[in-house]
Chains A and B, each alone.
Chain A
C-alpha cells in the first residue's frame, strides 16, 4: 500500500501543488492590492471621493472619469478605491477578535471537558441556532451604526463557529497518546492545553482565521448594503451599492463598480483561504 499510496499521493500532491501556487498567487495579489489601496487611497484617487460636482452628474465611464460619476457627480473610481478602507478595517479586527475568543473557548471546552464543555457547548448551540444575520440586523439596528458595533456583531457571530472547530480539533488531539503520556507524567490541564494541545490545533486556528476573514468581508459588506454599516454617503462599497440601487437603469456603473470591488476582494481571500486550507490539512 505504501507504494501505491505514495505514488498516487505524489500525483495528487503535484497537481494540488500547482493549483495551490496559482490560486495562492492570484488570490494573494488581489488581497494585497486591495490592502495597499485601503492604506494609501488618499494618494491614489484622482478625485476627492466625497466632493459633489453638480455639473458632471451621471457621467458614463470615460477618459475623464474612468468609471463614471454618480448622482452627485462624485467620481465612482475614487469612491471604489476609498471604499476599501472601511471593509478592511472591520473585517480583520472582527476576525482577530473572533479567532482569539473562539480559540480560547474551544480550547478550554475541549481540554477540560465534562461540565465545562457541556455548558459552553450548549450556550454556543443556542447562539448558533440563532441566525447570524438576524442577530446582526437586530443589534446594529438597535445599537446604532458604528465601526465598533459592526466589529462586535461580526466577531460575535463567528465566535461559536471558531470555538466549535477548535474544540473538535482539541478533542481529536486530546485523545491522542502523546497527551495521555503527558497526563501520565502529571501535567495539569492548563499545561496540557498550552504545551501539548495548542501547538497542534494551530493549523485549525489558521484555517479558521483565513476562512473567517473571507466571511467577515462578506458580512461587513452585507451589513453596509443593508444600511447597517457606515453612515450614508460614505464611500463604503456595500452602502454605495445600496445608495445607487435606484439608479440601476440610468447609471449601472455606479453600482457595478463597488459590487465588483467586493467580488474581487472576497474571491481573492477565498482563493487564498482554500489553497492554504488544502495545504495545511493535507500536511
Chain B
C-alpha cells in the first residue's frame, strides 16, 4: 500500500510535465500569429511586433516553455489577453463555480447510481433490471447538451419549474441558486448515472451469484440481510473506479453544459479562451483541468484500495 502510494505520488510530477508539454505544444503550434489575432487585421506591423515582444513570443521556444512552466508553478499565470484581468483570479474563480456545479452533480450521482445499480443487480434479468439497464445505457449515450435541451424545453419552457439559465442573479438565496443549478446538474447526472449504475449492477450480479452469498443463504440469511451484509460492500467497492472515470466525464461534460446553461464555469472559460486565442488563459485553464483530472484518478484509485481489504492488506486473492 505504501509502495503503491509512493509510486503514484512519484508519477504525478512526470504526468504533470507531460500534460504541460502537451498544453504548451498545442497552444504553440497554433497556425497564424497570436499577436496578429489579438490586434486584428488592421493593426500595423509595428504594433504587432511590439505585442510579440511584450508577450515574449520572440524568445526561443524552450525558453518560453520553461518560463511558462515555472511561472505556472509559482502562481505567475500572467494576464488574460482579451479580458485584461489576472489569469489566476479568473481561472480559480471560474473553477470554484464549476466545482459547485460538478460537486452537486457528483453528490446526487453516487446515491442514485448505486441504488439503481443495486436494484438492477439484485433483480437481474427481471423487468426492473431491464428498464434500469436500458434507460441507463441510452441516457449515457446521449450527449449532455441534448438531454439538457430536452430538460430545458420540458421544465423551463413548458412547465416553467426551473429557470433556463444556471446563473442566478446576484444576491439570490441559496434555494434560488439551487433552483438555477437544477437543470444543469440533472443533465450531468443523467449522463453519468447509466455508466456507474452499470458497474454497480455488474458487481452486484457477481456478488449475488457468488459462492459466499450462496453460502450465506444456505446458512439461513434472508434476502435483505444478504444484500445488506454481503452484497452491498462487494458491489460498491469495485464501482469506485467507475466513479473515478465518470468524474472525469463529468468534468468534460461541464464544457457543454456550462455553454448551454450560460454558466460561468471553467469549461466555458476554456472554450472562450480557445476561441479568442487567449493563450495565457487557455494554458492555465488546461493545466488546472489536467491537475484536477489527475487528482481524481489518484483519489479513485486510492479509495478503491482503501475500501478493499484484499488490496489494502495484501495477500493473495483467493
Contacts and interface: CB of A to CB of B under 8 A. Distances in A.
B34 to A, nearest CB: 10
A156 to B, nearest CB: 11
A262 B277 CA distance: 30
B256 A225 contact: yes
A282 interface: no
B141 A129 contact: no
B293 A270 contact: no
Contacts of A132: 252
Nearest to A8: B209
Contact of A256 (B142, B149, B282): B149
A117 interface: no
Interface stretch (B18-26, B82-90, B98-106, B171-179): B18-26
A214 interface: yes
Contacts of B260: 225, 245
Interface in A140-169: 141-144
Contacts of B146: 221, 241, 259-260, 262-263
A23 B259 contact: no
A214 B293 CA distance: 23
Interface residues of B, number: 48
B152 interface: yes
A70 to B, nearest CB: 14
A134 B270 contact: yes
A19 B130 contact: yes
Interface in A245-262: 245, 248-249, 252, 255-256, 259-260, 262
Interface stretch (B42-50, B68-76, B132-140, B308-316): B132-140
Contacts of A138: 23, 26-27, 274, 282, 286
Interface in A104-128: 125-127
Given A137-B271, A245-B260, A131 B290 contact: yes
Q: Size class of A's contact patch?
A: 35 or more
A270 B141 CA distance: 6
Contacts of A241: 145-146, 149
Given A137-B271, A245-B260, A262-B146, A131 B248 contact: yes
Nearest to A274: B137
Contact of B252 (A131, A259, A262): A131
Given A130-B290, A134-B286, A225-B256, 20 more contacts: A129-B294, A131-B248, A131-B251, A131-B290, A134-B252, A134-B290, A135-B26, A137-B271, A141-B271, A221-B143, A222-B143, A238-B145, A245-B260, A248-B157, A248-B164, A255-B149, A259-B149, A263-B147, A270-B140, A271-B134
Interface of B: 15, 18-19, 22-23, 26-27, 29-31, 125, 130, 134, 137-138, 140-143, 145-147, 149-150, 152-153, 156-157, 164, 248, 251-252, 255-256, 259-260, 270-271, 274-275, 277, 282, 286, 289-290, 293-294, 297
Interface of A: 12, 15-16, 19, 23, 125-127, 129-135, 137-139, 141-144, 214, 218, 221-222, 225-227, 238, 241-242, 245, 248-249, 252, 255-256, 259-260, 262-263, 266-267, 269-271, 274
26 contacts: A19-B130, A129-B18, A129-B293, A129-B297, A130-B290, A130-B293, A131-B248, A134-B270, A135-B22, A137-B270, A138-B274, A138-B286, A142-B27, A142-B31, A142-B274, A248-B157, A255-B149, A255-B153, A260-B146, A262-B142, A262-B143, A262-B146, A263-B146, A266-B141, A270-B140, A270-B141
